[in-house]
Chain A
Protein backbone atom coordinates (compact mmCIF):
# COMPACT_ATOMS: atom_id res chain seq x y z
CA UNK A 1 0.00 0.00 0.00
CA UNK A 2 0.87 3.67 0.05
CA UNK A 3 4.25 4.64 1.47
CA UNK A 4 3.11 7.93 2.97
CA UNK A 5 6.58 9.15 3.98
CA UNK A 6 7.87 8.67 0.45
CA UNK A 7 4.83 10.39 -1.05
CA UNK A 8 5.23 13.29 1.40
CA UNK A 9 8.92 13.68 0.45
CA UNK A 10 8.05 13.91 -3.27
CA UNK A 11 5.16 16.29 -2.62
CA UNK A 12 7.27 18.46 -0.29
CA UNK A 13 9.97 18.77 -2.97
CA UNK A 14 7.34 19.78 -5.55
CA UNK A 15 5.80 22.28 -3.11
CA UNK A 16 9.15 23.77 -2.08
CA UNK A 17 10.31 24.55 -5.58
CA UNK A 18 6.82 25.60 -6.75
CA UNK A 19 6.65 28.14 -3.91
CA UNK A 20 10.19 29.34 -4.70
CA UNK A 21 9.32 29.79 -8.36
CA UNK A 22 5.93 31.40 -7.72
CA UNK A 23 7.28 33.84 -5.14
CA UNK A 24 9.89 34.94 -7.69
CA UNK A 25 7.11 35.42 -10.25
CA UNK A 26 4.96 37.45 -7.84
CA UNK A 27 7.94 39.74 -7.25
CA UNK A 28 9.42 41.56 -4.31
CA UNK A 29 6.33 43.63 -3.65
CA UNK A 30 4.94 41.03 -1.24
CA UNK A 31 7.92 41.29 1.11
CA UNK A 32 8.46 44.98 1.58
CA UNK A 33 5.06 46.44 0.93
CA UNK A 34 2.43 44.18 2.38
CA UNK A 35 -1.07 45.57 2.00
CA UNK A 36 -3.90 43.84 3.82
CA UNK A 37 -4.73 41.96 0.61
CA UNK A 38 -1.11 40.88 0.06
CA UNK A 39 -0.96 39.70 3.66
CA UNK A 40 -4.10 37.56 3.45
CA UNK A 41 -3.13 36.33 -0.02
CA UNK A 42 0.30 35.30 1.30
CA UNK A 43 -1.21 33.40 4.21
CA UNK A 44 -3.67 31.62 1.90
CA UNK A 45 -0.94 30.66 -0.57
CA UNK A 46 1.13 29.32 2.36
CA UNK A 47 -1.81 27.33 3.65
CA UNK A 48 -2.53 25.78 0.23
CA UNK A 49 1.17 24.95 -0.14
CA UNK A 50 1.22 23.24 3.25
CA UNK A 51 -1.78 21.12 2.25
CA UNK A 52 -0.12 20.29 -1.08
CA UNK A 53 2.94 19.00 0.78
CA UNK A 54 1.27 17.04 3.56
CA UNK A 55 -2.34 16.12 2.81
CA UNK A 56 -1.83 12.76 1.14
CA UNK A 57 -5.53 11.94 1.45
CA UNK A 58 -6.22 14.15 -1.57
CA UNK A 59 -4.61 14.52 -4.99
CA UNK A 60 -1.57 16.79 -5.16
CA UNK A 61 -2.83 18.17 -8.46
CA UNK A 62 -5.93 19.73 -6.87
CA UNK A 63 -3.87 21.85 -4.45
CA UNK A 64 -1.27 22.63 -7.08
CA UNK A 65 -3.99 23.97 -9.36
CA UNK A 66 -5.36 26.12 -6.50
CA UNK A 67 -1.85 27.45 -5.86
CA UNK A 68 -1.41 28.24 -9.54
CA UNK A 69 -4.81 30.00 -9.72
CA UNK A 70 -3.80 32.19 -6.76
CA UNK A 71 -0.52 33.04 -8.50
CA UNK A 72 -2.25 33.88 -11.78
CA UNK A 73 -4.88 36.04 -10.03
CA UNK A 74 -2.18 37.85 -8.05
CA UNK A 75 -0.23 38.61 -11.22
CA UNK A 76 -3.41 39.70 -13.04
CA UNK A 77 -4.32 42.07 -10.20
CA UNK A 78 -0.75 43.42 -10.10
CA UNK A 79 -0.98 44.06 -13.85
CA UNK A 80 -4.40 45.75 -13.52
CA UNK A 81 -2.99 47.91 -10.71
CA UNK A 82 -0.14 48.99 -12.96
CA UNK A 83 -2.46 49.84 -15.84
CA UNK A 84 -5.30 51.55 -13.98
CA UNK A 85 -4.75 53.99 -11.13
CA UNK A 86 -8.43 53.81 -10.18
CA UNK A 87 -8.45 49.99 -9.93
CA UNK A 88 -5.15 50.09 -8.09
CA UNK A 89 -6.83 52.28 -5.46
CA UNK A 90 -9.83 49.96 -5.34
CA UNK A 91 -7.45 47.07 -4.66
CA UNK A 92 -5.04 48.63 -2.23
CA UNK A 93 -6.98 51.68 -0.93
CA UNK A 94 -5.11 54.96 -0.57
CA UNK A 95 -3.28 56.90 2.16
CA UNK A 96 -5.50 58.43 4.86
CA UNK A 97 -4.59 61.60 6.78
CA UNK A 98 -4.60 60.88 10.53
CA UNK A 99 -3.06 64.06 11.90
CA UNK A 100 -2.87 67.50 10.35
CA UNK A 101 -1.01 70.49 11.82
CA UNK A 102 -1.12 68.94 15.26
CA UNK A 103 -4.84 68.06 15.07
CA UNK A 104 -5.91 64.45 15.26
CA UNK A 105 -8.59 63.75 12.66
CA UNK A 106 -10.97 61.61 14.71
CA UNK A 107 -13.27 60.74 11.79
CA UNK A 108 -10.38 59.37 9.76
CA UNK A 109 -8.97 57.54 12.77
CA UNK A 110 -12.37 55.88 13.25
CA UNK A 111 -12.61 55.10 9.53
CA UNK A 112 -9.34 53.16 9.54
CA UNK A 113 -9.97 51.87 13.08
CA UNK A 114 -6.77 53.17 14.63
CA UNK A 115 -6.83 54.36 18.23
CA UNK A 116 -5.06 57.53 19.39
CA UNK A 117 -2.72 55.33 21.43
CA UNK A 118 -1.72 53.40 18.32
CA UNK A 119 -1.19 56.65 16.44
CA UNK A 120 1.06 58.00 19.23
CA UNK A 121 2.95 54.71 19.25
CA UNK A 122 3.58 55.02 15.54
CA UNK A 123 4.74 58.63 15.95
CA UNK A 124 7.08 57.72 18.80
CA UNK A 125 8.60 54.94 16.68
CA UNK A 126 9.55 57.76 14.29
CA UNK A 127 11.16 59.78 17.10
CA UNK A 128 8.24 62.20 17.34
CA UNK A 129 6.95 62.53 20.87
CA UNK A 130 4.51 65.38 20.48
CA UNK A 131 1.61 65.71 18.00
CA UNK A 132 2.35 69.44 17.78
CA UNK A 133 5.56 68.62 15.86
CA UNK A 134 3.53 67.03 13.06
CA UNK A 135 2.52 68.81 9.86
CA UNK A 136 0.81 65.73 8.50
CA UNK A 137 0.71 62.05 9.39
CA UNK A 138 -0.64 59.56 6.86
CA UNK A 139 -1.67 55.95 7.18
CA UNK A 140 -0.24 54.20 4.12
CA UNK A 141 -2.03 51.27 2.42
CA UNK A 142 0.61 48.90 3.82
CA UNK A 143 -0.34 49.92 7.39
CA UNK A 144 2.68 52.08 8.17
CA UNK A 145 2.36 55.70 9.24
CA UNK A 146 4.37 58.30 7.32
CA UNK A 147 5.06 61.54 9.12
CA UNK A 148 6.07 64.95 7.81
CA UNK A 149 7.30 67.09 10.73
CA UNK A 150 6.42 70.82 10.78
CA UNK A 151 9.14 72.93 9.26
CA UNK A 152 10.41 74.23 12.61
CA UNK A 153 10.98 70.64 13.76
CA UNK A 154 12.68 69.40 10.60
CA UNK A 155 16.42 68.71 10.75
CA UNK A 156 18.70 71.20 9.01
CA UNK A 157 19.66 70.19 5.47
CA UNK A 158 22.85 71.08 3.57
CA UNK A 159 20.75 73.33 1.34
CA UNK A 160 19.46 75.33 4.35
CA UNK A 161 23.05 76.16 5.28
CA UNK A 162 23.98 76.95 1.67
CA UNK A 163 26.66 74.25 1.74
CA UNK A 164 27.78 73.04 -1.71
CA UNK A 165 25.94 69.84 -2.69
CA UNK A 166 27.84 66.57 -2.54
CA UNK A 167 26.99 63.89 -5.10
CA UNK A 168 25.32 60.90 -3.46
CA UNK A 169 27.24 57.69 -4.11
CA UNK A 170 27.17 54.07 -3.07
CA UNK A 171 29.94 51.84 -1.83
CA UNK A 172 31.43 50.01 -4.81
CA UNK A 173 32.81 46.56 -4.02
CA UNK A 174 36.09 45.80 -5.78
CA UNK A 175 37.35 42.58 -4.20
CA UNK A 176 35.39 39.85 -2.46
CA UNK A 177 37.24 36.83 -1.06
CA UNK A 178 40.38 37.55 -3.09
CA UNK A 179 38.51 37.89 -6.39
CA UNK A 180 38.41 41.16 -8.27
CA UNK A 181 34.97 42.31 -9.48
CA UNK A 182 36.09 43.63 -12.88
CA UNK A 183 32.69 45.10 -13.72
CA UNK A 184 32.73 47.41 -10.66
CA UNK A 185 36.33 48.38 -11.27
CA UNK A 186 35.43 49.51 -14.79
CA UNK A 187 32.33 51.31 -13.49
CA UNK A 188 34.50 53.50 -11.25
CA UNK A 189 36.96 54.01 -14.12
CA UNK A 190 39.84 52.32 -12.29
CA UNK A 191 42.17 49.55 -13.42
CA UNK A 192 43.97 46.63 -11.86
CA UNK A 193 47.23 48.56 -11.51
CA UNK A 194 45.47 51.24 -9.50
CA UNK A 195 43.90 48.57 -7.30
CA UNK A 196 47.23 46.82 -6.69
CA UNK A 197 48.88 50.13 -5.85
CA UNK A 198 46.13 50.86 -3.30
CA UNK A 199 46.62 47.43 -1.77
CA UNK A 200 50.37 48.03 -1.58
CA UNK A 201 49.72 51.27 0.31
CA UNK A 202 47.90 49.15 2.89
CA UNK A 203 50.84 46.73 3.06
CA UNK A 204 49.16 44.02 1.01
CA UNK A 205 51.09 42.32 -1.75
CA UNK A 206 48.72 39.52 -2.79
CA UNK A 207 45.02 39.41 -3.63
CA UNK A 208 44.72 36.22 -1.62
CA UNK A 209 45.15 38.22 1.58
CA UNK A 210 42.10 40.38 0.81
CA UNK A 211 38.69 39.46 2.15
CA UNK A 212 36.88 42.62 1.05
CA UNK A 213 37.86 45.84 -0.68
CA UNK A 214 35.68 48.71 -1.83
CA UNK A 215 35.53 52.37 -2.76
CA UNK A 216 33.46 54.12 -0.08
CA UNK A 217 30.88 56.86 -0.86
CA UNK A 218 33.49 59.50 0.06
CA UNK A 219 35.90 57.98 -2.53
CA UNK A 220 38.10 56.54 0.20
CA UNK A 221 39.61 53.10 -0.40
CA UNK A 222 38.60 50.49 2.16
CA UNK A 223 40.26 47.11 2.56
CA UNK A 224 39.73 44.23 4.96
CA UNK A 225 42.19 41.34 5.22
CA UNK A 226 41.41 37.74 6.05
CA UNK A 227 43.99 38.03 8.80
CA UNK A 228 42.07 39.86 11.53
CA UNK A 229 44.33 41.53 14.03
CA UNK A 230 41.62 41.87 16.66
CA UNK A 231 42.03 41.50 20.40
CA UNK A 232 39.48 39.85 22.69
CA UNK A 233 38.43 43.21 24.26
CA UNK A 234 35.13 43.34 22.39
CA UNK A 235 34.08 39.79 23.15
CA UNK A 236 30.81 40.18 25.02
CA UNK A 237 30.32 36.48 25.69
CA UNK A 238 30.33 35.78 29.43
CA UNK A 239 30.35 32.01 29.17
CA UNK A 240 33.27 30.02 27.96
CA UNK A 241 31.36 27.17 26.42
CA UNK A 242 31.21 24.87 24.59
CA UNK A 243 27.56 25.50 23.83
Chain B
Protein backbone atom coordinates (compact mmCIF):
# COMPACT_ATOMS: atom_id res chain seq x y z
CA UNK B 1 0.00 0.00 0.00
CA UNK B 2 2.80 2.39 0.99
CA UNK B 3 4.69 1.68 -2.22
CA UNK B 4 1.53 2.19 -4.23
CA UNK B 5 0.94 5.58 -2.58
CA UNK B 6 4.59 6.47 -3.10
CA UNK B 7 4.05 6.33 -6.85
CA UNK B 8 0.34 7.15 -7.02
CA UNK B 9 0.51 10.47 -5.15
CA UNK B 10 3.28 12.04 -7.33
CA UNK B 11 1.61 10.77 -10.52
CA UNK B 12 -1.75 12.12 -9.40
CA UNK B 13 -0.11 15.41 -8.47
CA UNK B 14 1.49 15.68 -11.92
CA UNK B 15 -1.81 14.91 -13.64
CA UNK B 16 -3.69 17.50 -11.52
CA UNK B 17 -0.96 20.13 -12.03
CA UNK B 18 -0.85 19.54 -15.77
CA UNK B 19 -4.66 19.67 -15.98
CA UNK B 20 -4.75 22.99 -14.10
CA UNK B 21 -2.12 24.42 -16.42
CA UNK B 22 -3.98 23.48 -19.60
CA UNK B 23 -7.51 23.89 -18.19
CA UNK B 24 -8.08 27.21 -19.98
CA UNK B 25 -8.70 25.40 -23.25
CA UNK B 26 -11.94 23.84 -22.04
CA UNK B 27 -12.82 26.14 -19.12
CA UNK B 28 -13.31 29.04 -21.54
CA UNK B 29 -16.16 27.10 -23.15
CA UNK B 30 -19.68 27.55 -21.71
CA UNK B 31 -20.32 25.51 -18.56
CA UNK B 32 -23.61 27.15 -17.50
CA UNK B 33 -26.58 29.01 -18.92
CA UNK B 34 -25.18 32.52 -18.85
CA UNK B 35 -21.54 32.18 -19.89
CA UNK B 36 -21.78 31.80 -23.67
CA UNK B 37 -19.30 34.63 -24.24
CA UNK B 38 -18.48 33.84 -27.86
CA UNK B 39 -22.17 33.62 -28.89
CA UNK B 40 -22.96 36.89 -27.07
CA UNK B 41 -20.23 38.66 -29.03
CA UNK B 42 -21.48 37.06 -32.27
CA UNK B 43 -24.95 38.38 -31.37
CA UNK B 44 -23.44 41.81 -30.75
CA UNK B 45 -21.87 41.65 -34.23
CA UNK B 46 -25.17 40.75 -35.89
CA UNK B 47 -27.10 43.43 -34.01
CA UNK B 48 -24.49 46.07 -34.78
CA UNK B 49 -24.64 45.17 -38.47
CA UNK B 50 -28.46 45.46 -38.32
CA UNK B 51 -28.08 48.65 -36.25
CA UNK B 52 -30.23 47.20 -33.43
CA UNK B 53 -28.29 49.22 -30.85
CA UNK B 54 -30.52 48.39 -27.87
CA UNK B 55 -30.28 44.66 -28.59
CA UNK B 56 -26.53 44.97 -29.11
CA UNK B 57 -26.20 46.69 -25.73
CA UNK B 58 -28.13 43.89 -24.00
CA UNK B 59 -25.98 41.23 -25.62
CA UNK B 60 -22.88 43.17 -24.64
CA UNK B 61 -24.00 43.28 -21.01
CA UNK B 62 -24.48 39.52 -21.09
CA UNK B 63 -20.96 39.22 -22.54
CA UNK B 64 -19.51 41.36 -19.72
CA UNK B 65 -21.24 39.18 -17.13
CA UNK B 66 -20.07 36.00 -18.88
CA UNK B 67 -16.47 37.24 -19.01
CA UNK B 68 -16.50 37.99 -15.26
CA UNK B 69 -17.46 34.34 -14.68
CA UNK B 70 -15.08 32.83 -17.22
CA UNK B 71 -12.08 34.94 -16.17
CA UNK B 72 -12.27 33.49 -12.65
CA UNK B 73 -11.84 29.94 -13.88
CA UNK B 74 -9.34 30.44 -16.68
CA UNK B 75 -6.98 32.69 -14.73
CA UNK B 76 -4.79 29.76 -13.59
CA UNK B 77 -3.80 28.74 -17.09
CA UNK B 78 -3.92 31.75 -19.39
CA UNK B 79 -1.69 34.77 -19.81
CA UNK B 80 -2.61 37.87 -17.85
CA UNK B 81 -2.08 40.01 -20.98
CA UNK B 82 -4.71 38.02 -22.91
CA UNK B 83 -7.20 38.47 -20.08
CA UNK B 84 -6.52 42.17 -19.92
CA UNK B 85 -6.89 42.41 -23.70
CA UNK B 86 -10.36 40.80 -23.53
CA UNK B 87 -11.46 43.15 -20.72
CA UNK B 88 -10.15 46.10 -22.71
CA UNK B 89 -11.80 45.08 -25.98
CA UNK B 90 -15.17 44.55 -24.24
CA UNK B 91 -14.98 48.10 -22.89
CA UNK B 92 -14.14 49.44 -26.35
CA UNK B 93 -17.11 47.57 -27.86
CA UNK B 94 -19.33 49.06 -25.14
CA UNK B 95 -18.10 52.55 -26.06
CA UNK B 96 -18.77 51.87 -29.74
CA UNK B 97 -22.33 50.70 -28.99
CA UNK B 98 -23.04 53.80 -26.87
CA UNK B 99 -21.74 55.97 -29.74
CA UNK B 100 -23.69 53.84 -32.26
CA UNK B 101 -20.52 53.69 -34.34
CA UNK B 102 -20.27 50.49 -36.34
CA UNK B 103 -16.84 51.15 -37.99
CA UNK B 104 -15.11 51.36 -34.57
CA UNK B 105 -16.88 48.26 -33.19
CA UNK B 106 -16.17 45.78 -35.99
CA UNK B 107 -12.32 45.75 -35.71
CA UNK B 108 -12.65 45.23 -31.94
CA UNK B 109 -15.06 42.34 -32.42
CA UNK B 110 -12.66 40.61 -34.79
CA UNK B 111 -9.76 41.37 -32.44
CA UNK B 112 -11.80 39.63 -29.73
CA UNK B 113 -12.31 36.57 -32.00
CA UNK B 114 -8.55 36.39 -32.49
CA UNK B 115 -7.71 36.46 -28.78
CA UNK B 116 -10.53 34.05 -27.97
CA UNK B 117 -9.18 31.52 -30.45
CA UNK B 118 -5.74 31.55 -28.80
CA UNK B 119 -6.99 31.76 -25.21
CA UNK B 120 -6.20 28.71 -23.11
The chain A residues found within 8 Å of chain B, CB to CB, are: 1-4, 6-7, 10-11, 14, 17-18, 21, 56-61, 64
Say yes or no: A59-B83 contact (C-beta < 8 A), given A14-B21, A17-B13. Answer: no
Chain A residue with minimal CB distance to B86? A1
Say yes or no: A21-B71 contact (C-beta < 8 A), given A57-B80, A64-B21. Answer: no
Asked whether, in the complex, the Cβ of A10 is within 8 Å of the Cβ of B20, the reply is yes
Say yes or no: A7-B13 contact (C-beta < 8 A), given A1-B83, A1-B84. Answer: no
Asked whether, in the complex, the Cβ of A57 is within 8 Å of the Cβ of B83, the reply is no
What residues of chain B lie closer than 8 Å to A17, measured between beta carbons?
A: 13, 17
Can you name 10 extra interface pairs (CB under 8 A) apart from A3-B72, A11-B76?
Answer: A1-B71, A1-B83, A2-B71, A17-B13, A57-B80, A59-B78, A59-B79, A60-B20, A61-B21, A64-B17
Interface of A is mostly: helix
Which of these, A1, A7, A57, contacts B76 with CB under 8 Å?
A7
Q: Is B81 an interface residue (CB 8 A)?
A: yes
The chain B residues found within 8 Å of chain A, CB to CB, are: 10, 13-14, 17-18, 20-22, 71-72, 75-81, 83-84, 87
Asked whether, in the complex, the Cβ of A21 is within 8 Å of the Cβ of B13, the reply is yes
Asked whether, in the complex, the Cβ of B17 is within 8 Å of the Cβ of A18, the reply is yes
What residues of chain A lie closer than 8 Å to B84, measured between beta carbons?
A: 1
What residues of chain B lie closer than 8 Å to A60, measured between beta carbons?
A: 20-21, 76-77
Which of these, B10, B17, B77, contacts A59 with CB under 8 Å?
B77
Complex: A3 Cα to B78 Cα, angstroms:
12
Residue contacts A-B, CB under 8 angstroms, 15 given:
A2-B71, A2-B75, A2-B83, A4-B80, A7-B75, A11-B76, A17-B13, A17-B17, A18-B14, A21-B10, A21-B14, A56-B80, A59-B79, A61-B18, A61-B22
Q: How far is the CB of B60 from chain A (nearest CB, A)?
A: 17
Complex: A1 Cα to B91 Cα, angstroms:
13
Which of these, B10, B18, B79, contacts A57 with CB under 8 Å?
B79
